[in-house]
């Protein structure tokens, strides 16, 4: 049974006091102004106007809320319509000004993610950087706020989460005799075992790797662990915080036994949040996320890794210029990012090529095959090479995206999918100018995304508030519908008919995936042995692979290493299915106009439009005395209900998309558990044999068909959830809108002044938008007319 929670109307009982809750206080003017320091003056003006509109709207809503509360404070039986108004007003007052825009920097070891963030925020060594090894060891989020100091919060694994990891680490390192008393194969630590030893020694000290799980539970950690599992740091200057932060986020050397107490609790760290004060370069509302490329052996950290990728609306795949061609890690990152477009909130994806100043001029000139003009300098060669890379990689990336995503996906409409940046040259400018490093271009992209989102959010907010004030004002009128019960029966029947049509449309929409899903199942059945075999083969044979394979089995088919490519047997086995369903899955959850009926959101938009048209028609035919109030309210509430429904759908699609791998993982769990227990002679080969036989058995028993059924079941649950939410919310709204008046309406405070102010604010939306366009046009004109200020780069 699908969940039936009402996501707009909170049930309120007479004894509840939620409606008397004080709204949150508004932000001080000086704090609001600081938020826009990262923007040029023209954009600042537009943002301040939108901020002013939002602030004044919140004030009007707050005043209306207080008046309603005072008018019903002593009543025991508050009518449902007034409860609805009060709850909606409070929800709008407390609605966040702007949901953060998460920009994920997703790259492998040494790609330059931290260096890029340092350049964007103009703090040279703020996050630890190193060209030789892994530096950032966990997810790091960097944002700006209105705080006076530089701040950081280090979130640690809970006690239970660490115990789970500790058990896996000790199991991985546990050496026992085989079933016949023979000793295990010669100990040859692979990557998984080396990392396990390293973590235990770091946390408990030398010799910890030889102790049992129970012994380590009783052992005292080397570092002090706060009971809150959160460490807070503050500093007046960026450099001071950087020094304090460094031990927590820098990957520690495995051959180093020194260090502070901070270093010793490093294995517990799962997330670091850094807040900059009033940044002139990164606006408040944007979060830059440094995401390690392969996940983590710890289940909680690995789940956080996936969720962090999925909540990013923008992903920049970071790859240095020397690894851009032919590297497996680079391709894995691109594939994982494209999956985020399918299962998460990602709408924009770009390839950011770092270290773009690197070029050996004699070698480049010898191999140069383009252009007739002679290259005069290192700078000219770098710029020419970078432009070639942009053209080549842009085409390759766009072709990959076209195979995975719908043709009308937003990311495919982007003018630039590839950036070539140089953090080093941003600071030195020995070869390239600041503009040519493309760091300013990335900042401009960030500002543009935030400005566009702010405009859409405030427009929606003011419009929704206006509709609510219209109805509130109509309720406060003495003669409000007292003797005029709305003739809504025709609209109710129409809504019921349209909901039935919506159900059929959703069924037809989801039916588009049935055939590709079946074809993917056939492909998976015919190729799973080959795929599994490739996953279980290593170029060095079984040397060092025994412990890695055990780690894979301990984590139900998944192993994430800080140095090796991510291993996911469940995902690999189901890949032939995803190759078939990815394009249609993307079309189902796209937001563009429908072409073949396969897109879900446009069906909901069509449903909304038909309701709005019908309301207008019935209002005119029935001669509603208060048609403008009632009709506008109903239209706005329909938009709010179905707008919330779209967010609900986007949150659910991840579960649907991952249902195939989750199903396969659950079916293979006994097989993984059996293999993880194998020890003794030829343990690695015996583990492989158990895996092969186990997968064969599950496939023969219908593993892929069960995965198919579970995905289809998830689609059915989504359909049921959509229709139940639509039925419940719209039925409640129509009931409230058509309720006959009662004496309480006469006692409501007069809100005509608030309504008139809200009406002015609603009219101001168009004026603010027009002003922004005029300012932008004037700015572009002045830029075209002014001479370039860029000077030549410094000579070497």
Least confident range of 8-22, 333-347, 727-741: 8-22
Nearest to 105 by CA among 291, 328, 332, 365: 291
Average pLDDT, the chain: 81
What are the tens digits of pLDDT across the range 457-496? 999 899 888 888 877 776 655 444 443 444 556 677 888 8
- Residue 514 or 1, more confident: 514
Please give, one letter per residue, the 3-state secondary structure of 228-274.
CCEEEEEECCHHHHHHHHHHHHECCCCCCCCCCHHHHCHHHEEEEEE
Helix axes 627-657, 703-737, angle to 10 degrees: 170
38, pLDDT greater than 90: no
According to DSSP, the β-strands at 286-292 and 139-145 are antiparallel
Element (H, E) at 319: strand 314-320
8, pLDDT greater than 60: no
Q: Give the pLDDT band of residue 708 (cuts 50, 70, 90).
A: very high
Element (H, E) at 473: helix 439-476
| Alpha helices, DSSP H, located in 555-657 | 569-588, 600-622, 627-657
794, pLDDT greater than 60: no
Q: Give the pLDDT band of residue 254 (cuts 50, 70, 90).
A: low
Q: In 3-state terms, what secondary structure has residue 289? A: strand
Least confident range of 17-26, 121-130, 462-471, 575-584: 17-26
Distance of CA 287 to CAs 44, 126, 311, 313, 442, Å? 19, 16, 11, 11, 14
Q: Which two tokens stand for residue 759?
A: 């009406």
Cβ distance 316 to 103 under 8 Å? yes
Strand partners, 632: none
pLDDT of residue 336: 87
Cβ distance 521 to 699 under 8 Å? no
What are the tens digits of pLDDT across the range 642-670? 777 877 888 889 999 999 999 999 999 99
Q: Which two tokens stand for residue 786?
A: 């002014």
End-to-end CA distance of the chain: 70
pLDDT of residue 540: 60
Percentage, residues of the chain above pLDDT 90:
37
Cα 704 from Cα 146, distance rounded (Å): 52
600, pLDDT greater than 70: yes
Cβ distance 796 to 430 under 8 Å? yes
| Alpha helices, DSSP H, located in 35-110 | 41-72, 80-93
Cβ distance 535 to 709 under 8 Å? no
345, pLDDT greater than 70: yes
Cα 590 from Cα 593, distance rounded (Å): 9
Strand partners, 143: 275, 287
What average pLDDT does the segment 193-221 reach? Answer: 90
Cα 587 from Cα 289, distance rounded (Å): 28
Least confident range of 417-426, 427-436, 725-734: 725-734
pLDDT of residue 666: 97
Cβ distance 458 to 50 under 8 Å? yes
pLDDT of residue 261: 59
What average pLDDT does the segment 699-714 reach? Answer: 96
pLDDT of residue 190: 66
Q: Give the pLDDT band of residue 67 (cuts 50, 70, 90).
A: confident
């Amino acid at each position: 049974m699908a969940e039936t929670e009402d996501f707009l109307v909170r049930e309120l009982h007479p004894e509840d006091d939620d409606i008397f809750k004080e709204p949150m206080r508004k932000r001080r003017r000086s704090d609001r102004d600081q938020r826009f320091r990262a923007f040029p003056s023209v954009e600042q003006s537009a943002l301040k106007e939108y901020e002013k509109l939002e602030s004044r709207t919140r004030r009007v809503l707050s005043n209306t809320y207080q008046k309603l509360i005072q008018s019903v404070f002593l009543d025991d039986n508050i009518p449902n319509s007034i409860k609805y108004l009060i709850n909606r007003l409070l929800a709008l007052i407390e609605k966040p000004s702007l949901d953060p825009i998460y920009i994920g920097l997703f790259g492998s070891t040494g790609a330059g993610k931290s260096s890029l963030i340092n350049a964007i925020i103009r703090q040279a060594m703020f996050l630890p950087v190193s060209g030789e090894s892994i530096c950032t060891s966990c997810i790091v989020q960097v944002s700006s706020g209105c705080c006076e100091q530089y701040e950081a919060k280090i979130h640690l694994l809970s006690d239970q989460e660490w115990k789970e990891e500790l058990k896996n680490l000790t199991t991985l390192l546990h050496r026992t005799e085989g079933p016949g008393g023979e000793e295990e194969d010669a100990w040859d630590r692979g990557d998984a075992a080396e990392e396990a030893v390293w973590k235990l020694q770091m946390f408990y000290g030398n010799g910890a790797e030889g102790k049992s799980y129970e012994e380590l539970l009783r052992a005292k950690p080397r570092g002090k662990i706060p009971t809150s599992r959160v460490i807070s740091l503050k500093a007046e200057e960026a450099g001071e915080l950087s020094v304090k932060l460094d031990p927590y986020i820098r990957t520690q050397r495995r051959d180093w036994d020194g260090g502070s107490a901070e270093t010793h609790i490093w294995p517990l760290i799962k997330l670091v949040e850094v807040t900059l004060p009033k940044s002139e370069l990164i606006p408040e509302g944007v979060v830059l996320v440094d995401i390690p490329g392969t996940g983590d052996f710890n289940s909680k950290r690995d789940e956080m890794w996936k969720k962090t990728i999925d909540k990013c609306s923008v992903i920049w795949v970071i790859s240095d210029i020397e690894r851009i061609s032919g590297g497996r890690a680079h391709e894995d990152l691109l594939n994982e990012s494209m999956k985020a477009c399918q299962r998460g909130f990602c709408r924009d994806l770009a390839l950011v090529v770092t270290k773009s100043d690197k070029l050996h001029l004699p070698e480049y000139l010898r191999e140069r095959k383009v252009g007739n003009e002679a290259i005069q300098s290192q700078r000219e060669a770098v710029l020419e090479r970078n432009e070639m890379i942009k053209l080549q990689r842009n085409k390759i990336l766009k072709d990959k995206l076209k195979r995975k995503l719908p043709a009308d996906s937003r990311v495919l409409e982007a003018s630039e999918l590839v950036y070539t940046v140089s953090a080093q040259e941003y600071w030195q400018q020995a070869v390239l100018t600041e503009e040519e490093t493309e760091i300013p271009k990335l900042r401009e992209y960030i500002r543009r995304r935030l400005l566009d989102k702010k405009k859409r959010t405030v427009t929606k907010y003011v419009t929704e508030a206006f509709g609510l004030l219209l109805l509130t004002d109509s309720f406060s009128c003495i003669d409000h519908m007292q003797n005029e019960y709305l003739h809504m029966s025709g609209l109710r029947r129409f809504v019921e008919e349209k909901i039935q049509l919506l159900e059929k449309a959703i069924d037809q929409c989801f039916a588009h995936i049935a055939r590709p899903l079946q074809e993917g199942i056939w492909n998976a059945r015919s190729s799973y042995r080959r795929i599994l075999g490739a996953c279980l083969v290593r170029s060095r044979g079984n040397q060092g692979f025994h412990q890695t394979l055990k780690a894979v089995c301990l984590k139900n088919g998944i192993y994430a290493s800080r140095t090796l490519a991510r291993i996911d047997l469940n995902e690999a086995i189901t890949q032939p299915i995803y190759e078939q369903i990815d394009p249609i899955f993307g079309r189902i959850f796209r937001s563009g106009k429908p072409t073949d009926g396969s897109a879900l959101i446009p069906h909901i938009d069509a449903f909304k439009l038909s309701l709005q048209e019908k309301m207008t028609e019935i209002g005119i035919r029935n001669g509603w005395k208060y048609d403008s109030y009632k009709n506008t309210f109903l239209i706005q509430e329909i938009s709010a209900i179905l707008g919330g429904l779209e967010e609900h759908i986007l949150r659910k699609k991840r579960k649907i998309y991952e249902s195939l791998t989750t199903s396969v993982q659950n079916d293979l769990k006994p097989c993984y558990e059996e293999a993880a227990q194998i020890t003794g002679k030829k343990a690695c080969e015996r583990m492989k044999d158990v895996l092969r036989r186990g997968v064969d058995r599950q496939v023969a028993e219908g593993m892929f068909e069960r995965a198919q059924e579970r995905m289809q079941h998830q689609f059915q649950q989504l359909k049921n959830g959509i229709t139940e939410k639509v039925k419940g919310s719209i039925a409640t709204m129509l009931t409230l809108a058509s309720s006959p008046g009662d004496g309480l309406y006469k006692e409501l405070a007069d809100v005509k002044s608030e309504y008139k102010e809200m009406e002015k604010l609603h009219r101001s939306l168009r004026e603010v938008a027009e002003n922004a366009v005029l300012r932008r046009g004037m700015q572009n004109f002045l830029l075209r007319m002014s001479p370039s200020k860029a000077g030549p780069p410094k000579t070497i």
